[in-house]
Amino acid sequence: MKKPFPFHVVLFIIYPIIALYVNNINEITLLETLRSYLVSIVIASILFGVLYLFLRDYIRSALLTTWLMILFFSYGHVLTYIKQWEMGELILGRHRFLLPIWLSLFVIGAFWIARTKRHSERLNQFFNGTGSLLLLFSIYSIAIFYWGDSNSQNGIQLPSSASPESVSYEECTVSTPDIYYIILDGYGRNDILRDLYDFDNSKLTSFLLDKGFYIAENSYSNYSQTLLSLSSSLNMSYINYLTDELGRQSLNRDALGELVTDSQVLAFLKDYDYQFVTFETGAKATEIRRSDYYLSPESDEDWGQVNERQLLVNKFEGILIDSTLLILFLDHDFLIPDFVKEAIFGSDNLREIVSSSEYQKHRERIEYTFTRLPDFASRDGKFFFFAHVIAPHPPFVFDASGAPLEPVAPFSFRDGTLSQEQERDYIRGYRDQLEYINTLLIDTIESILAQSTEAPIIIVQGDHGPGSQLKWTSIEDTNLLERMGILNAIHLPGGPDILYPDISPVNTFRSVFNCYFDTDFELLTEKHYISLYDSPYDFLDITKELP
């Protein structure tokens, strides 16, 4: 009987890459993954050829190659997972614990495959079948994502959100001032910063109060993830209807991006002849490029360009490297002699080679946004500014003084257990970055108020709170207060006392528009929902669990 061809060698090379793409499908393009496939297949082919020279058996050579690929591609995933495990002060997610286990698995598996012919054909069939199922599952996920994406473009409609409101707004000014909507990603509420992060935020709070801001001291986000939160606040509506439109297990976040870029807030202000000023964020879903002024440091001739090193790897390849055995050499690059690294890579810091340019771009975007926000304050016309600053949210790229931090992981916007930060490292990095963001924010607001010919509306909000105790696989183990409590500071010039301590983002523009545009949007009941990363539309109402 003819032996089945061992195509599992290719399957177990393609599957880890395509599965990683599925997990990052909202941030990564297919084009960014192509080089990973090519390099992996070439290396595996060479490995297979070398093993065949020794074993003279293509089935066993293929089995051993597949076994090595499984160990290679799974190492970083397992390391990241067990970093959550601690025994007192002992952190189990260390190379010194995992590497000996992996070496033992390699030796046992290699010895068994090399010495055993009797079961090789059966094992070959098993790997062929398993690899095929895994790959088909990933391809199915991609198909569902893109099918849902094309469906959503035609099917998603926000419900009408205007209805009579009993609260009187007769005392509000009827002018149409500039509106600044500044989203500081992951900015937590003062009491949470004090209790969990040992951070005294009174300097910023005192400044904001002195400038006439109202600070909602008991404000929570309506949703626990950025795109969910912004889709809700910019459309002045809860978006739970997306569960029926897309499905509880859908990973399609492109629909949320559409709700951000084509929101009801923008449509409303367009009718009042507002011009829109938006910024590059680094997250494509929140970059509203179809605006009157889309500002980016790379296209601004008056802004110093990023001094970029030509990266050897792109963003996806950096994430892939961290999920494989190669993370060992990034975390312990002393294993490779400096002269070898200098000769091959032009630097003796491998982590810097992988991530330095993306980190620097992110620093540039943050500082550029704060610097450019006041530039339109004295211009004629009415402007709406949407500035999504991905900070103090990870990655942590600044210390407390604003000095750049060296990369400790491939660049990524991952948070909570999806990030590579231990809880204590997260708290330290978050706290330091927060201090510098506060400095930038104070300077920016000072400039806006000083240069404005008419007092503007300024809304400074967190889209959600920080994530040092965010468990993406378990709502029960997540600190809900930390994740949902947000900074919510609003400057309403000439307006009466219409705000309240627990106002949430969904009611922000309802209140503003009622006050300044004589509308009658109903203030919605404050509700708060959390969902896991892999099932963003499977909402759990936690309103009653928040104090």
CATH 3.40.720.10, applies to 181-321+356-545: yes
> How many other C-beta atoms lie within 10 A of the C-beta of residue 462?
26
User: Pairing state of beta strands 488-491 and 457-461?
Assistant: antiparallel
Collapse the DSSP code of 510 into the 3-class scheme (helix H, G, I; strand E, B; otherwise coil) and give the result: helix
Give the ranges where 211-349 is alpha helix by DSSP (H): 226-233, 242-246, 254-261, 264-270, 315-322, 327-331, 338-345
How confident is the prediction along the chain (547 residues), in pLDDT tens digits per residue?
466 788 899 999 999 999 999 888 777 888 889 999 999 999 999 999 999 998 888 899 999 999 999 999 999 888 877 876 666 666 667 888 889 999 999 999 988 887 777 778 888 899 999 999 999 999 988 887 776 544 444 444 444 444 334 344 445 555 789 999 999 999 999 999 999 999 999 999 999 999 999 999 999 999 999 999 999 999 999 999 999 988 888 878 888 989 999 999 999 999 999 999 999 998 888 999 999 999 999 888 777 654 444 456 777 888 888 889 988 887 776 667 766 666 655 565 666 666 667 888 899 999 999 999 999 999 999 999 999 999 999 999 999 999 998 777 778 888 988 776 788 899 999 999 999 999 999 999 999 999 998 999 999 999 999 999 999 889 999 999 999 999 999 999 876 578 999 999 999 999 999 989 989 999 999 999 999 988 999 999 999 999 8
**Could you give the CA distance from residue 403 to residue 360 in angstroms, rounded to a whole number?**
11
**Could you give the CA distance from residue 166 to residue 184 in angstroms, rounded to a whole number?**
32
Supply the pTM of this predicted model: 0.79
Domain with CATH 3.40.720.10 in the chain: 181-321+356-545
Contacts of 157 (CB under 8 A, 6+ apart): none
Nearest to 45 by CA among 5, 4, 13: 13
Give the ranges where 24-118 is alpha helix by DSSP (H): 34-55, 58-82, 95-115
